[in-house]
């Protein structure tokens, strides 16, 4: 499976890349939503996007809203991974089309648990 990590923090992209590599995902990275959209347009389209909320150029909420308006990307699984912890923000992201929401800081197990819920990895994948 292919995953795209969309976060303006190089360190956070590295952390998420290591977790996903341990789950046999091929990964691509983008520093903001517009860069991610450009990569998706050029292809290949990822199966999963892990998306930060607060980024320059295009934030994660706008990215998710834009992806959901494109019928060709309807099957992409979107998961917010962000410091935004207010209930209203979580509701907004899920209403816009995010499938799951993880609040930073997180453990690798938290990411794996969400991917298991989404059916993208099997139980005990990081064991």
What pLDDT score does 94 carry?
A: 95
What pLDDT score does 84 carry?
A: 87
Contacts of 120 (CB under 8 A, 6+ apart): 1, 47, 48, 77
Residues of the chain with pLDDT under 50: none
Domains of the chain: 2-117 (3.40.50.2300)
What pLDDT score does 124 carry?
A: 63
Question: Cα–Cα distance between 109 and 31 in angstroms, integer?
Answer: 24
């Amino acid at each position: 499976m292919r995953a795209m990590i969309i976060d303006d923090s190089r360190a956070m992209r590295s952390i998420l890349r290591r977790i996903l590599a341990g789950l046999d995902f091929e990964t691509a990275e983008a520093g903001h939503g517009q860069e991610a959209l450009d990569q998706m347009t050029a292809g290949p389209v990822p199966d999963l996007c892990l998306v930060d909320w607060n980024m320059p150029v295009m934030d994660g909420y706008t990215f998710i809203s834009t992806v959901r308006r494109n019928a060709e990307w309807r099957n992409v699984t979107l998961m917010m991974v962000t410091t935004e912890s207010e209930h209203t923000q979580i509701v907004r992201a899920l209403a816009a089309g995010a499938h799951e929401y993880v609040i930073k800081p997180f453990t690798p197990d938290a990411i794996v648990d969400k991917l298991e819920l989404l059916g993208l990895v099997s139980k005990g994948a990081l064991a």
